[in-house]
Structure 1
C-alpha cells in the first residue's frame, strides 16, 4: 500500500510540471471524477480543465468551487451524454478546436443500474458504452493531443480509466459486446477485462504515453441514483455498515490523482533527458511499479485503490496466450467503424 503521506507529498510536487497542464475529466460532475478533478486543480499551476458530463447545475457548482481552490485554474464544462459515441465525437471536436495537447485524461463515467440491455441508436448498450466504448473512443479520438503532450515540455501524457482493475472474470469471446447474452454481471466482466487489454494495446502502440486502469474501492459517489427506489432504500440502510470499508471523498481524489500523475507508472519510452516525462518524480525509497504484464516500464498499469499493482494474473496470462488483446482491439476498432456508418446514416436521414 502506498502510504497516504506519500500520496500527498507526490501530489504537492505536481506543480513541478509547470503551468498550463491540460486535463480532461469525463464523468467529473459527481463522485470520483469530481473528487479527482478538484485534487488536480488544487495541486497544479494555471491548469486548463475540460469537464464532460450531463449535469450543468453540478458543473456550475464544481467550477465555482475549483475557482476557490485555485484562482488561476480555467475549468470549462462540455455537456454531453456519453452513452452515445456520437456525443463523444462531438465533445472531442470541441476540445480539438481549443487544444493541441492534452496531458491527462481521467474517465469515471458510469452508473449503477439493474436494467437489462438498453441499446442506444448506435446499437450499443448504454451501460457498456459508459464503462468501455466511450472511454476508448475519447482516447482514440484525442491521441494526437496526447502524443503532442508527450513531445512538448514537460513531456507528460497519461490516461486513467477508473473502473474495476483487479476484479477480472472470464468473458464470452464470441459475444464481446453482449448483443445476445447481456446481463449486468457479464457487462461488468467484459468492460473490466476489455479496459485491461486496451490499456496494453494502446501502450504497445503509444510508448510515450501511460495507460492506466484503476479500481477506486468502495466510495460513496451517488451512482445509485438510477437504481429503483427499493434498491436505493436498501442501499441507504446498509450504507452505515459499508462506510466502515469506504474510502473517503478527499482520500479518493488524492489517491486517483496520485495514480494519474506519479512517476511510479511511467510510459514505456518516456522522452529522455527529462524526469518529468514519467510523471511526478519518485520519492526516496519508492520504486517503479510493474506493468499489467509483470514488467517494469510496460506503459500499461492495473492499479488498486491504494496504489498497488492488481489484476487476475492467471486469467490475464491465459487470455494473453490466446491473443485476446488483439481480439479486443480489432473488435473495438470495428465497432467504431460500424457506429460511424450508423451515425452518418442518421445525419443523412435528418437532412433529407
Structure 2
C-alpha cells in the first residue's frame, strides 16, 4: 500500500520507541540513496548499529561522522571493499560476521548505470557484477545472520518493475550488451532471484525497489561530468532529494507492510512509496519459462567461476 511522505515521517519519528535497536549493513552506503538512508536510520533508531561498505574510504568516514552527529548513541563502522571482485566480498563478509550475530537489515545500493562495457577479470561487466552478482553474494554469505534476526529484511535499490524479457545465454551480458540490457537484465534477475530466496528463507523478506528519480551523484558517476550534469538538470523537476529518498527508504526498511513468506508473500517489487510495481504479465512469462531457477543456478555458477 502506497504511503504519503507525511505518514512516512510520522512512522520514522516513532521508531525510537517502536524499534529502539537495529543492526543494519549498507552495501554502497558512501553516497546517494544508501548514504542518506543510513544517516536517516541512524537518527531514527534509539541505539542503532550500522556498518557501511563502499570503495571510497574518505567518503565512508564522512558518512560515519554524519551518523555519529545524527545519533551519538549508535555504533558505526566502515569497510572499504571493491565489490567488482567476489573474493573481496567474501573476505568482507567473514570480517562482518565477527561484528554481529544477527542482522536486521541488508541494504544494497552499490553500482552505477552502464553505458559501455567494462569487463572484470572473469569477463563480466563491472556494473553488472556490482549491481547483481556481488549483491547476491552478500545476501548468500550473510543469510545466517539475517535468519538470526527477529524480522530481517533485504532491500535492493535498483529497478523493481522495470524488468525485461531475458535470454538464458545472455544472463552475464556476454552475448549482447546495450544500455537496455545493462539495466534490464539485473532488474529481471534481482526480482527472480528474490523469489527463489524468499522460498528458501521464509523468515526473511526481500524488497526490490525502484527509487524513482533521485538527485544523487549517480548520473555524473555513470555518464561523466558534462552529460551527467545536463541530465541531472533536466530531470530535477521530476526528482526528489537524496535526503527525502532516505526518509522513504527508512520506512521501507522498517515497515510491517512487507512481511516474510512465512506470513505472506516474502518477495516484493515496489516503488519508493511502497506501491506494488510488479509487471504481472512479464513476471508470469518469466516464471513459465523457468527463469527463477535458471537465474539462481546461473548465479551459483558465476560464484563458482569467480571464486575458483
Q: Same fold (TM over 0.5)?
A: yes
Q: How does the TM-score come out when normalised to structure 1?
A: 0.83
Confirm whether residue 254 of structure 1 aligns to residue 255 of structure 2. Answer: no
Partner SS state of residue 47, structure 2: coil
Rounded Cα–Cα distance in structure 2 between residues aligned with 1:199 and 1:183: 24
2:275 maps to what in 1?
A: 308
> Is the contact made by 2:203 and 2:260 (CA closer than 8 Å) also made in structure 1?
yes
Offset, 1:47: 1.1
The structure with the largest alpha-carbon Rg is 1
Rounded Cα–Cα distance in structure 1 between residues aligned with 2:306 and 2:84: 13
2:65 maps to what in 1?
A: 64
Partner SS state of residue 319, structure 1: helix
Counterparts of 1:198-213 in structure 2 under 5 Å?
198-213=193-208
User: 1:178–1:237: structure 2 CA closer, same or farther, 3 Å change rule?
Assistant: closer
1:24 maps to what in 2?
A: 25
Confirm whether residue 183 of structure 1 aligns to residue 178 of structure 2. Answer: yes
Deviations along 1:285-305, one digit per CA (max 9) or x if unpaired, are xxxxxxxxxxxx211000112
Rounded Cα–Cα distance in structure 2 between residues aligned with 1:112 and 1:189: 11
Deviations along 1:148-189, one digit per CA (max 9) or x if unpaired, are 11xxxxx12000000000111111222211122222321211
Rounded Cα–Cα distance in structure 2 between residues aligned with 1:317 and 1:39: 36
Rounded Cα–Cα distance in structure 2 between residues aligned with 1:322 and 1:14: 42
Higher strand share: 2
Confirm whether residue 329 of structure 1 aligns to residue 281 of structure 2. Answer: no
Offset, 1:18: 4.3
What RMSD, in angstroms, separates the aligned Cα atoms of the two structures?
1.5
Rounded Cα–Cα distance in structure 1 between residues aligned with 2:230 and 2:119: 32
Counterparts of 1:6-21 in structure 2 under 5 Å?
6-21=7-22
Counterparts of 1:240-319 in structure 2 under 5 Å?
240-269=233-262, 297-319=264-286
Offset, 1:91: 1.0
2:140 maps to what in 1?
A: 140
User: 1:333–1:228: structure 2 CA closer, same or farther, 3 Å change rule?
Assistant: closer
In structure 1, the gaps of 5 or more residues are 150-154, 271-296, 342-352
> Is the contact made by 2:153 and 2:205 (CA closer than 8 Å) also made in structure 1?
yes
Residues paired across the two proteins, number:
307
> Is the contact made by 1:113 and 1:226 (CA closer than 8 Å) also made in structure 2?
no
Partner SS state of residue 163, structure 2: coil
Q: How does the TM-score come out when normalised to structure 2?
A: 0.95
